[in-house]
Each structure stands twice: as C-alpha cells, then as structure tokens.
C-alpha cells in the first residue's frame, strides 16, 4: 500500500508525489496487470492498462510491456479486445462476470473501450529504442503487433457498420465516458422495462452525487442484456443494437492509433500491413467530417440511428489535434472554444462545457477533468504547434494533482478530487507527463 497519508502532508514535494504515484501502481498491481483502483474497479480495464503502461515505463520497462501483453492475452479469436478482463472474481463490482455471461476463459465483458493501446506501444517502443534496448524489445513488439492489427480490423468490421471511417459505440461504457450527456438522447429508445432488480456496488464505495444516475444504470444493463441475448454476436449487435452512436472520442483515438500502428508496421518491415493501415487512415480522414457540427462549430458524437449530432462540447471535442487532423477553419473554431472555456474555469479541460446548463462539476463525465484525456489533448496540441495551449493543459493537470492528490477526476472549478483516490491511470499520467515543471 502507499505510505500512509502521504498525500495529506502539506509539505509534500514533487519527489514525494512521484514516490506516491509509483507506490499506487505497485499496490494496484495484481501480478501482470493493474487494477484502476482496488475498491471501485477490482479487475483489468482496457484503456486504463494502456495508460498505466506509460507510468510503469518511467521506472520499470519490462512491467510496462507486460501490462499490455496481459491485456492482449484476453483477446478473442475475432480480434475483439474486451473492456474488462475478470482475471479473478470480486464481489465489489457490479455487473460482474456472471452478468456478462460471455462464457470465455478468462471471463471478459462483451464490449470494448477506446483503442489507445497501439499509440502507447509506439511510445514504449520509442522509449526502449532511445534507451538502447531496441534489440531486447523488438521480439515483444513483433508479438504484440498482429494482435493490435487484429483489434483495429475488428473495429473496421464491427464498429463501423456504414464504413464511414468512424467508430460506432454500442454501449456508453465502450466510449470510456460512461455518463456523458452525449448519450442521453440516443439512450432514450433503450427499453429498460425488463432490467429487473439489481444492486449497484459503485454507490456503496462512492458518493452517489459523483456517479451516474439510476436511469443511466438501467440503460447500461439493458444493453448488456441485449448483447448477452445475441450470444455476444458482434455482427448482429452492430446491425441491431438499440444504441449505436458514432463517438467522437473513439473515432479520434482510433485514427491516431492507426497512424501509430502504421509506423510500427514499417519498423517491423511489414509493408502490406502498413498499406492496409494507410487506407484506414485515409478513410477516417475523409469520413470523420461527418462528426463536425456546423451549428455549434465543434467536433461531437452523432447518433447513427437518427443522424443527429449531439451538439455537446466535451473534452473529446479537442482531440482533433491528437488525431493529426488539420483544417484551418475547424481548428480556429475549436481553439476559440478552448480559449473561452480556458477563461471560464481555472482548470482545463472539463469533460463538459461549463456553459452548458447540464454541467456538474463533480458528476463523473458531466464536468470533471480527467488526467488521461488531458494527456491526449495536451500532447496533441503541442504536436500541432499549439505549444502554449498544450502547456496550459499540462500545467493545469500538474497543479490539480500536486494540490489535491491522485484522484480519479477533479473539479475544473475548485480542483476537488472526485471518484476514487489512489487511482492508477492518474498516477501513470503524473509520472509520464504531468509532473514536468511548467515551462
Ligand atoms: C469508469 C470510466 C472508464 C474507466 C473505468 C475504470 O468506468 O468511465 O473510462 O475505464 O472507470 O477506471
């Protein structure tokens, strides 16, 4: 466990915080994989593990690679990579393995999560190479590559039914932004009348004010029941699921991940995979325009069923730079929103525009700042030459963690930590990115 009450000490230095972050990663390590937080999330989560690997890479390279190797060990034959792997049961979480009923070994959920893994593997590879460790890690890269490629093909085959070059989420949990208001209208047609009684576990660990509502949970479960009734037939789900939303976050993340995977294909000398990935990139670059909402001048998600844009400005609206998109008019409109929001709250980037009437500073994905999203926004801006804005996002992330601790998320208004403490991905982002001094 982390040194007791370390985070509460007023005279804590950056080095103490580093030590605490490493201690949290070690304490949440279950042997080859890391739980996001021991109480609230006691299993392996997909995109959490990818970010966690970046943290391990700052002090234990082998362990960083192992995190992803373990995750990819739970891949299905069709390339699908689950959002949760239940390596061992734990009564502290609902819905657990029995509710998902995927009938797999190891038991997994039946939905996926944002595909950041390929981008992280590229980072790990670059860092190994820079340290002169390329020779030792190349075989591990070569072993991970086909699995990542298979997963990206699965997205093409099962999460883009109209072949638009976007990612269509079949469950709010798939997007990693569970209760974003982007899912409210598309969630309305979900039939919740047969969900039955169930006991949530999240609200016994955390204040209900910080968590999704009962209506949202009913919809989450109805979608799990739907998927289960198909026997987790991803083809059928992609045609018939009652919730099908082209998610702006996953679409941007997959575009970026395909670029990084294409680089890795070339490192490995696999020209045919590189060409296949180039095609996917090109399709996405064209197709993602479908997610630009002229009315609000923003990138946002769009309901495949009704064709409606969500119209919400969320933190993922700012991932176009990370995705490597460049369009002068859209970039200017996006940066104008960035500056407006940046002037309205002390800490960027709130998960929902604070000017939105539904903004709630501590309710999960309806307000709070998430370090992992900041990492993607900040690095994207800096790579695109928007260094001041990139540094603003990084500096705010640093201040939030420095003053408040390694929480799941933070209020953009007063910095209060929300959700679980001792959080793995926040610790990882601290070590890998946020901790550097303000420039
Ligand atoms: C919540 C988050 C999701 C994350 C998981 C574990 O469900 O919304 O993005 O992966 O917790 O940390």
Q: How far is CA 206 from CA 169, 212, 249, 363, in A?
A: 27, 11, 26, 11
- Give a yes or no: residue 393 inside a domain: yes
CA of 418 to the centre of ligand 1 (A): 13
- Give a yes or no: residue 318 inside a domain: yes
Residues 6+ apart with CB under 8 A from 257: 115, 116, 117, 118, 119, 152
| Token duo for residue 14 | 């950056």
Give the distance, in angstroms, between the CA of residue 372 and the centroid of all CA atoms in the same chain: 7
- Give a yes or no: residue 400 inside a domain: yes
| Token duo for residue 91 | 């009564």
- Give a yes or no: residue 8 inside a domain: no
- For residue 89, what pLDDT is reported? 87
408 annotated active-site = yes
Which residue's C-alpha comes closest to atom 2 of ligand 1?
A: 176
CA of 133 to the centre of ligand 1 (A): 32
What is the arithmetic mean of pLDDT over 42-64? 98
Structurally, the chain folds into a number of domains equal to: 1
CA of 176 to the centre of ligand 1 (A): 6
The active-site residue out of 160, 293, 408, 421 is 408
- 109-133: burial string, b at 16+ Cβ within 10 Å, e else: bbbbbbbbbbbbbbbbbebbeeeee
Task: Establish whether residue 45 lines the binding site of ligand 1, counting it when its CB lies within 6 angstroms of any ligand atom.
Answer: yes
SS3 category, 251: helix
What is the arithmetic mean of pLDDT over 182-211? 92
Summarised one tens digit per residue, pLDDT across range 125-139 is 999 999 999 999 999
What is the C-alpha to C-alpha distance for residues 424 and 52, in angstroms, rounded to an integer? 6
- Give a yes or no: residue 266 inside a domain: yes
CATH of the domain at 192: 1.50.10.10
Task: Establish whether residue 375 lines the binding site of ligand 1, counting it when its CB lies within 6 angstroms of any ligand atom.
Answer: no
pTM for the structure as a whole: 0.97
SS3 category, 415: coil
Residues 6+ apart with CB under 8 A from 357: none
* Percent of the chain scoring above 90 in pLDDT: 91
Residues 6+ apart with CB under 8 A from 126: none
3 pLDDT higher than 50: no
Summarised one tens digit per residue, pLDDT across range 334-383 is 999 999 999 999 999 999 999 999 999 999 999 999 999 999 999 999 99
By residue range, what is the domain housing residue 145? Answer: 20-434
Which residue's C-alpha comes closest to atom 6 of ligand 1?
A: 36
- Give a yes or no: residue 263 inside a domain: yes
| Token duo for residue 339 | 């500056």
Summarised one tens digit per residue, pLDDT across range 292-327 is 999 999 999 999 999 999 999 999 999 999 999 999
What is the C-alpha to C-alpha distance for residues 339 and 364, in angstroms, rounded to an integer? 23
- Give a yes or no: residue 11 inside a domain: no
What is the arithmetic mean of pLDDT over 191-196? 94
- Whether a cis peptide bond, with omega within 30° of 0, leads into 403 is no
The secondary structure of residue 54, as a DSSP letter, is H
The neighbour count for residue 178, using CB atoms within 10 Å, is 17
Task: Establish whether residue 36 lines the binding site of ligand 1, counting it when its CB lies within 6 angstroms of any ligand atom.
Answer: yes
If phi > 0 it is left, if psi is from -120 to 50 it is alpha, else beta; for residue 417 that is beta
178 annotated active-site = yes
DSSP structure string for 366-408 = GS-B-HHHHHHHHHHHHHTT-HHHHHHHHHHHHHHHHHH-S-S
What is the C-alpha to C-alpha distance for residues 53 and 29, in angstroms, rounded to an integer? 11
- Give a yes or no: residue 12 inside a domain: no
Task: Establish whether residue 47 lines the binding site of ligand 1, counting it when its CB lies within 6 angstroms of any ligand atom.
Answer: yes
Which residue's C-alpha comes closest to atom 4 of ligand 1?
A: 176
The active-site residue out of 18, 126, 133, 178 is 178
What is the C-alpha to C-alpha distance for residues 251 and 249, in angstroms, rounded to an integer? 5
403 pLDDT higher than 80: yes
DSSP structure string for 79-130 = S---SEEESS--TTSSS-HHHH----SSEE-SS-----HHHHHHHHHHHHHH
> What is the band of 1 on the pLDDT scale with cuts at 50, 70, 90?
very low
| Token duo for residue 324 | 């490597």
Task: Establish whether residue 93 lines the binding site of ligand 1, counting it when its CB lies within 6 angstroms of any ligand atom.
Answer: no
Do 269 and 129 contact (CB within 8 A), yes or no?
A: no
- For residue 103, what pLDDT is reported? 94
Task: Establish whether residue 423 lines the binding site of ligand 1, counting it when its CB lies within 6 angstroms of any ligand atom.
Answer: no
What is the C-alpha to C-alpha distance for residues 334 and 264, in angstroms, rounded to an integer? 30
């Amino acid at each position: 466990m982390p040194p007791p009450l370390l985070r509460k000490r007023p005279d804590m230095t950056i080095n103490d915080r580093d030590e605490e972050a490493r201690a949290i990663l070690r304490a949440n390590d279950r042997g080859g994989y890391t739980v996001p937080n021991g109480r609230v999330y006691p299993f392996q989560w997909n995109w959490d593990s990818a970010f966690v690997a970046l943290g391990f890479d700052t002090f234990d390279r082998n362990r960083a690679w192992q995190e992803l190797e373990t995750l990819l060990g739970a891949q299905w034959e069709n390339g699908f990579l689950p959002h949760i792997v239940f390596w061992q049961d734990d009564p502290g979480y609902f819905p657990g393995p029995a509710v998902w009923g995927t009938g797999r070994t190891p038991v997994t959920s039946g939905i996926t999560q944002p595909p950041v893994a390929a981008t992280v593997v590229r980072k790990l590879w670059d860092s190994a190479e820079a340290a002169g460790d390329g020779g030792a890690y190349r075989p591990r890269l070569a072993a991970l590559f086909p699995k990542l490629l298979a997963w990206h093909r699965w997205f093409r085959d099962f999460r883009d039914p109209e072949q638009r070059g976007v990612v269509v989420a079949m469950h709010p949990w798939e997007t990693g932004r569970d209760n974003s208001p982007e899912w409210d209208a598309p969630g309305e047609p979900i039939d919740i009348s047969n969900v039955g009684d169930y006991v949530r576990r999240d609200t016994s660990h955390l204040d209900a004010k910080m968590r999704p509502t009962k209506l949202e949970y009913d919809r989450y479960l109805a979608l799990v029941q739907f998927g289960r009734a198909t026997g987790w037939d991803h083809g059928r789900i992609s045609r018939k699921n009652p919730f099908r939303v082209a998610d702006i976050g996953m679409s941007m993340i997959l575009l970026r991940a395909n670029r990084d995977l294409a680089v890795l294909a070339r490192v490995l000398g696999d020209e045919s995979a590189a060409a296949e990935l180039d095609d996917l990139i090109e399709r996405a670059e064209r197709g993602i325009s479908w997610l630009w909402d002229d009315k609000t001048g923003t990138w946002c998600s769009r309901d495949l069923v009704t064709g409606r844009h969500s119209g919400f400005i969320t933190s993922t609206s700012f991932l176009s730079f990370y995705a490597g998109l460049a369009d002068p008019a859209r970039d200017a409109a996006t940066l104008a929103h960035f500056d407006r929001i940046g002037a309205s709250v002390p800490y960027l980037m709130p998960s929902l525009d604070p000017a939105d009437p539904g903004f709630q500073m501590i309710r999960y994905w309806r307000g709070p700042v998430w370090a992992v999203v900041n990492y993607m926004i900040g690095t994207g801006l800096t790579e695109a030459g928007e260094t001041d804005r990139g540094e603003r996002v990084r500096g705010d992330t640093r201040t939030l963690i420095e003053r408040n601790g390694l929480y799941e998320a933070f209020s953009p208004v007063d910095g209060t930590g929300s959700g679980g403490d001792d959080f793995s991905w926040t610790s990882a982002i601290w070590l890998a990115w946020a901790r550097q001094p303000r420039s």
